[in-house]
Structure 1
Amino acid sequence: MKLPLKHIVILVICSLIGIFVYQAYWLTGLYRSMKMEMESNIRDAMRTSDFNEVVLRVNDLQKDNVEHGSLTVSAGYDADGNSLVTQQTISYTDSSRQDTIHSRTETTTDTVKTVGNASEDSKAVASSESGLDVLLKKQDSLKELLMSIQQGIHSGVDTYIDVNLQRYDSLLTHVMKEHNLSIPHHTLLIYTGTSADSSIVYTDTLGIAGDSSYIPSPKAIRYDYEFNMHHSQRYQLVFEPINSLVLKQMTGILVTSFVILLILGFSFWFLIRTLLKQKTLDEMKSDFTNNITHELKTPIAVAYAANDALLNFNQAEEKSKRDQYLRISQEQLQRLSGLVEQILSMGMERRKTFRLHPEEINLKELITPLMEQHQLKADKPVHIELDIKPETLVIVADRTHFSNIISNLIDNAVKYSKKEAELSISCRQTGGTVTISVTDRGIGIPLDKQKHIFDKFYRVPTGNLHNIKGYGLGLFYVKSMVEKHGGTITVKSEPDKGSTFTITL
């Protein structure tokens, strides 16, 4: 059972829509994942740059130890594992006296807050005796632990040397470049405090670094990183939305997806186009079968009737009648032979063994007999004007097939003329090019049908009129043979004004 073409087209369209929707869903999910990863990289870059800035400040303090003393900063948990202890010790030394003048030790204790479900924490505590083990059970808790240690070190170092915002911005820019995040930005150092009675909360910007030419737009986004344990100071990174940056990083994937969709769309379009062509070809073959059956049946029936009259009705005894019926039989058999020869030529034309046998042909000697034949066999008055310049014009072509080409064009011009056929055949040589034109004043061809007239089995629709016989092979044969000779054929036509077929060799 054949699936109707309409259903095939619907299935193809549904398949394309399904592929497009899935591709869009997948790309949207990938976009969100990449955006989240990029935002995570930005936060990690801010934390990493802060740690590096603290380390550099500690290195600066160590370089000053010889002249100004020593600094020790340590952080860790107390015995119960629940409190984070930060200890800073500084000793000032007079290098000339080689003894310690002053030593100061400060200890700060902060209680570590764990985040999570109460029941989960209680189970974790039950399975471990150390609070540190509870933190290490979860990746988020481990990250929180490391940040608390970093904040503790930060608080100790900040006591003796201020934050270097310009250095932090340079470190941040470098780390972001490693993550392919080279974007204009501002880095702010912000302090948040309260009044003496804690009734007023204020925020003050202590410094700005970054790209001086960058001006944040209203859509600019801000990322905060609180670096001290009292949450009073933070870095703020300001830059434009990263949507375009994410899309830029997805360029390769987007282009590949588009190319795949384009290839699939073209493939499906080509499939549907092929199916439509096959359907049209099938219809044309059906029409051809009907037409050729009629064309072959007519000469057979006429020849049979003539022979039957000679054999069964004593028409052979009268010489004039006998000659008439024999002539009729001969004409119909010639017509039948011509039809069969043309059909066989169509089959041979597509075989690899098909070969032309070119020779020099005088166009006038070739075309003149063809004109006389068509004038004799036509059922209407035929006037043909031949104009060849120069008169001795010669071409190199296969005599048999080129004769058929001209004969087909003349035959079409006669068939599609009205009550009286008026034709003109023009042959011209320009340089090394020969043009042969056959012009009639017949019914013409509509413009939208002209591009199909050289298709196999195609016949221009004539509505309910069926007085013009044919089976759609003539012009296809003409075009095929002209191309085999290395030439081209074109048509110019207007309805009710006639047509002109031009061969260029």
Structure 2
Amino acid sequence: MKIPFRAIAALIILSLIGVFAYQTFWLTGLYTTMKKEMDNCLQETLQISDYNEMMLRCDSLRKYNMEKKEFGTNYNIDSLTMKDTQSLLFINEPFSITIDKNGSVELLTKYFQRGIHSQLDLFTNINLHTFDSIFTRAIAMRGIAYLPHRIEIIDLREDSTAVCGVSNPVNYMPGKKAAFYYYNYDRHNKMAYRLCVEPTRRVVLHQMTGILGTSFLIIVILGLSFWYLIRIILRQKTVEEMKEDFTHNITHELKTPIAVAYAANDSLLNFNGAEKLEKRHTYLQIIQEQLKQLSGLVEQILSMSMEQRKNFRLSYEDIELKPMLESLIGQHRLKADKPVEFRLAAEKDIVVRADRTHLYNVVSNLIDNAVKYSGEKAEIYIQAFYSDQCLTLKVSDKGIGIPADKQRHLFDKFYRVPTGNLHNVKGYGLGLYYVKTMVEQHKGTVSVESVAGKGSTFILQIPG
């Protein structure tokens, strides 16, 4: 059961849409997850930076105390007892109850950090530049190489700036769409750090560059693969149609000479055609010409199958080209059903090493095409010359020509150029394919130069 081409194309398109939709859904989910992770990362980095900034201030105070011996503190952080910690945090109940109420040790750690912060701020102020340096290094270690931002300390009660902010880079000013992240470091919920950054979607998208690039590459590869598949299917469909046309054409081409030869033979056998010498000669000549035509058709068809076999070989010999061309011109002049004018430009001493039979058929095909596609009168010009140890043979006509968009398919198997209202041109789509195949077997090339309505020139180049 053959599946219609439209159904296959629709299935392929739906598959592409499905893959694209799934990729979009997956990438959207990944973006959302990474965006949340980015927000959590910035929030956690604020807390870590606050802790590290406090430790630096503690170290500075210890050094100052040791050098000046003037500074003392009521708390030794390294030797705090459970009772001291509860007093520092203003907790009037056991830790186990506090943890149960808060639900996590993490929240208790924040309380502890805020308690130390409140006591430390009594002796020394926050160094916002140090905090910014620590924050910048911390986010860089988390894979955020560059994030323009501004950090400031605000009073939560009045929603006002308590300490002028520090920008990184210095000229950065938050835009209207800037995002804000807060970290409350005060145990009384009065003071907090505020981080101002532009929307982090650019940073997230930058981190997703590899994934986005891979996904895009996958979509492109799938698209190209499906496109190639459709192209192959279309090509196969075209080849099938060409084969059907070829079958009809070749059947007609074979039946015509068979019918003519059969009629001539029937006249000789049943209608006393053999009694008169003149009639007998005429009928026998008709039979011979039709058999030659059949032989040529069969030979070309066999050549098409033989050239695909590994054991296909050409029988090379030295051929005098001009006598061969003159013979071909004479034969085509006799069998032409229209006036034909030939012009030949070839030197007598041109000798080419090639397979005589196939070279003969190649040139015969080109002359035959030139005659068939020349309208009511044919003017054929044949040139042959050597150039750079290569034989160049040109067959030109002033016929109907070949449209530019059809020339690239001209040498395809079973292909015939549409002739519009011209229905008297016989053919089966193998002639030029045979020409190209045999010329390439001779290590040569064939090309065409043509203008619609002005004629065509076929150019053969064979080395040797």
Query: Which structure has greater strand proportion?
Result: 1
Partner of 1:17: 17
Partner residue of 1:2? Answer: 2
In the alignment, does 2:111 pair up with 1:69?
no
Residue aligned with 2:124, SS: coil
Q: Deviations over 1:129-187 (max 9, x none)?
A: 94245247x4xx43222211111111122122222222222211111111112325444
Q: Distance in 2 between matches of 1:26 and 1:285?
A: 47
| 1:156 corresponds to 2:124 | no
Shift of 1:363: 1.9
SS at match of 1:235: strand
Q: Which residue of structure 1 lines up, in the alignment, with residue 303 of structure 2? A: 345
What's the counterpart of residue 436 of structure 2?
A: 479
CA distances 1:294-329 after superposition (whole Å, capped 9, x unpaired) = 111111111111221222222222222222212211
Q: 1:37 to 1:202 in 2, by over 3 A?
A: closer
AA partner of residue 374 (structure 1):
H
Distance verdict in 2 for CA 1:202–1:133, change over 3 Å = closer
- Which letter does structure 2 place at the counterpart of 1:405? V
After TM superposition, the score normalised by the length of structure 1 is 0.84
Residue 176 of structure 1 aligns with which residue? 139
Distance in 1, matches of 2:8 and 2:211, equals: 31
Q: In the alignment, what sits opposite 1:143?
A: 106
Higher mean alpha-carbon deviation, 241-250 vs 15-24, is at 241-250
The letter for the 2-side match of 1:36 is: K
Structure 1 contact 61–71 (Cα < 8 Å) conserved: no
Q: How does 1:26-105 map to 2 (within 5 A)?
A: 26-66=26-66, 67=69, 68-72=71-75, 85-87=86-88
Equivalents in 2 of 1:213, 1:130: separation in Å?
Answer: 46
Provide the C-alpha distance between the structure 2 equivalents of 1:162 and 1:175, rounded to a whole number of angstroms: 22
The alignment yields a C-alpha RMSD, in angstroms, of 2.4
2:114 touches 2:185 (CA, 8 Å); kept in 1?
yes
Residue by residue, what CA displacement relative to the aligned partner does 1:196-248 show, whole Å, maximum 9, x if unpaired?
xxxxx362331333435332241332222111112222222223222222111
The separation in 2 between residues aligned to 1:234 and 1:205, in whole angstroms, is: 9
* Distance in 2, Cα, partners of 1:213 & 1:153: 31
Matching of residues 408-487 of structure 1 within 5 Å? 408-463=365-420, 465-487=422-444
| Aligned residue runs from structure 1 range 63-462, under 5 A | 63-66=63-66, 67=69, 68-72=71-75, 85-87=86-88, 109=90, 130-135=96-101, 138=103, 141-192=104-155, 201=158, 203-218=160-175, 219-388=177-346, 390-462=347-419
Alpha carbons 1:413, 1:440 under 8 Å: kept: yes
Equivalent residues of 1:62, 1:71 under 8 A apart: no
Inter-partner Cα distance in structure 1 for 2:149 and 2:299? 87
Assess, with a 3 A threshold, how the Cα gap between structure 1 residues 202 and 452 changes in structure 2: closer, same or farther.
closer
- Partner Cα distance (2:92, 2:242) in 1: 91
Could you tell me how far 1:270 is from its partner in structure 2?
Answer: 0.6
For the residue of structure 1 that corresponds to 2:193, the secondary structure is strand
- The one of 491, 494, 505 equivalent to 2:448 is 491
Paired amino acid for 1:316: A
Moved more, 412-421 or 287-296: 412-421
Distance 2:169 2:201 in 1: 23
Change beyond 3 A, Cα 1:110–1:210: farther
Are residues 217 and 393 of structure 1, via their aligned partners in 2, closer, same or farther at CA, if it must alter by over 3 Å?
A: farther
Give the 3 Å change call, closer, same or farther, for CA 191–30 of structure 1 in structure 2. Answer: closer
Q: In the TM superposition, what is the alpha-carbon distance from 1:55 to its structure 2 partner?
A: 2.1
SS in 2 for 1:315: coil
8 Å contact from structure 2 (residues 150, 165) kept in 1: yes
Gaps (5+ residues) in structure 1? 88-107, 113-127, 195-200
SS class of match (1:15):
helix
Choose 245-254 or 318-327, whichever is displaced more: 318-327
The SS at the match of 1:317 is coil
Q: Is the 8 A contact 1:443 1:497 kept in 2?
A: yes
**Offset of residue 65 of structure 1:** 4.6
- 2:109 and 2:154 map into 1 onto residues whose CA distance is 23
Residue in 2 that maps onto 1:118: none
Counterparts of 1:312 and 1:210, CA distance in 2: 114
- 1:462, distance to aligned residue in structure 2 (A): 2.7
User: Against the structure 1 CA distance between its residues 193 and 405, is the aligned structure 2 distance closer, same or farther, given a 3 Å change threshold?
Assistant: closer
Whether the aligned pair in 1 keeps the contact of 2:338 and 2:378 (CA below 8 Å) is yes
Distance 1:193 1:17 in 2: 51
Quote the offset at 1:69 in angstroms.
3.2
Distance 2:170 2:334 in 1: 94
State the AA in 1 paired with 2:120: V
Are the equivalent residues in 2 in contact too, given 1:183–1:239 (CA < 8 A)?
A: no
The higher relative CO (CA closer than 8 Å, separation ≥ 6) is in 2
Number of aligned residue pairs: 456
Contact 1:427 1:434 in 2 (8 A): yes
- Kindly state the Cα deviation for residue 76 of structure 1 after the two structures are TM-superposed: 8.4
Deviations 1:46-94 (CA, angstroms, capped at 9, x unpaired): 1011111222222333334541334415688879xxxx8343xxxxxxx
CA separation in 2, counterparts of 1:52 and 1:471?
88
More displaced, 204-213 or 324-333? 204-213
Amino acid at match of 1:166: H
Shift of 1:345: 0.6
